[in-house]
Amino acid sequence: AAIIGMGLFSLMLAATYLLMHAPDVAITEATIGAALVTAIYILAIRRTGRLTVVADEVPGLIAREGDHISGLEYEILAGFAKAQGLDLSVQFVPLRRVQWLVAHREADMGAGGIIPLPVADDVLATTPEHLPTGIYAFEPNAVRPSVAFAPDYEGYFSELVPRARDGTLASTVIALDLARVLAISRHGVSLKGLVRLEGNHAYAFILSRERTELRREYASYFERLRTSGQLEEMIGRHVQ
């Protein structure tokens, strides 16, 4: 509360000095205020000691296996949490719920085979992409150009296999990704009529645009993974 108060006070002083025609002082106060506000977000995570991630389960990326969670995305996130001195908490939720929870600051990051599309989102930002993939649809024209992320469907991934078996998947799914297509196919289910959309796509995590410090910390961690060759090793362990 004290930090919030100091930050707001600095911003108010900045406005006052600007009105008093003291732009240099105003800029200094605004900078202090912005720094204090940023500190709030850092302390919010540090205070809980936890990095909260929401995700839809996707085999190979992030999924439960017995009493533990595994997958490429889980290993990346677990490493990031450890590097930040935090405990990783993963909550599995329906796919469309992931974006809502992150946008409303109920979770720090969203995962589970999320593909950023070239559409600006005013609330959500994305991390650096960690794995190339493809987007698939039964009706390519049904993929709305205004949608910022793929895949897109109601419910959990675990509900897709039964729907594919009873022939209702095409009426349920707007778009799928390569990891989900492969996972469904391993159950011996036919995906007739599914078409791969044109373009180059890749998976990334999502987080609030306001979490600038968290974005910077993750980007720095991810760059170390990439340049050290650890990311390539992780991909080799989980993607076949």
Pick the closest to residue 239 from 117, 56, 98, 70 (CA basis).
Answer: 70
CA–CA gap between residue 97 and residue 156 (Å, rounded): 10
Of residues 30 and 62, the one with the higher pLDDT is 62
| CATH of residue 150 | 3.40.190.10
Task: Say if residue 20's pLDDT is above 70.
Answer: no
Tokens found for residue 101: 């929870």
Indicate if 126 and 30 belong to the same structural domain. no
**Residue of 23 and 154 predicted with greater confidence:** 154
Range of the domain at 53: 49-238
Q: With a cut of 80, say whether residue 12 has pLDDT above it.
A: no
Q: Taking the CA atoms of the chain, what radius of gyration do you get in angstroms? A: 21
Positive or negative: CA dihedral 48, 50, 53, 58: negative
Question: Is the overall model pTM greater than 0.85, yes or no?
Answer: no
pLDDT for residue 30? 44
What local confidence, expressed as pLDDT, does residue 19 receive?
56
Judgement on whether residues 19 and 60 belong to the same structural domain of the protein: no
Mean pLDDT for 88-117 is 94
Across 118-142, average pLDDT? 85
Domain match, 138 and 80 both: yes
State whether 75 and 170 are in the same domain: yes
Q: How far is the C-alpha of 208 from the C-alpha of 171, rounded, in Å? A: 31
| Chain segment 161-214, per-residue pLDDT in tens | 999 998 888 888 888 999 999 999 999 888 888 889 888 999 999 999 999 999
Number of domains in the chain: 2
Place of tokens 């996972």: 183
Q: For residue 18, what pLDDT band results from cuts at 50, 70 and 90?
A: very low
Q: CA 240 to CA 226: how far, in whole Å?
A: 19
- Distance from chain centroid for Cα 51: 13
Distance CA 90, CA 55 (A): 7
Q: What angle separates helix 72-83 from helix 212-228, to the nearest 10 degrees?
A: 110
**What integer pLDDT is reported at residue 121 of this predicted model?**
76
Residue 30 vs residue 75, higher pLDDT:
75
Report pLDDT digits (tens) over 38-74: 555 555 555 568 999 999 999 999 999 999 999 999 9
Buried b (16+ CB within 10 A) or exposed e, 166-187: eeebbeebbbbbbbbbebbeee
What are 214-239's pLDDT values in tens digits?
999 999 999 999 999 999 999 999 98
Judgement on whether residues 128 and 232 belong to the same structural domain of the protein = yes
- Split at pLDDT 50, 70, 90, the class of 3 is very low
pLDDT over threshold 90, residue 149: no
Does residue 86 sit in the same domain as residue 202? Answer: yes
Exposed/middle/buried for residue 206 (C-beta within 10 Å: 0-12, 13-18, 19+): buried
Residues 115, 220: one domain? yes
pLDDT for the residue numbered 192: 85
Mean pLDDT of 77-102: 95
Q: 37 and 67 in one domain?
A: no
Question: In 3-state terms, what secondary structure has residue 203?
Answer: strand
Residues 111 and 187 reside in one and the same domain:
yes
Whether residues 127 and 172 share a domain: the answer is yes
- Do residues 37 and 153 share a domain? no
58 and 8 fall within a common domain: no
Beta 135-137 vs 173-177: how paired, if at all? antiparallel
CB-based contact 232:130 (threshold 8 Å): no
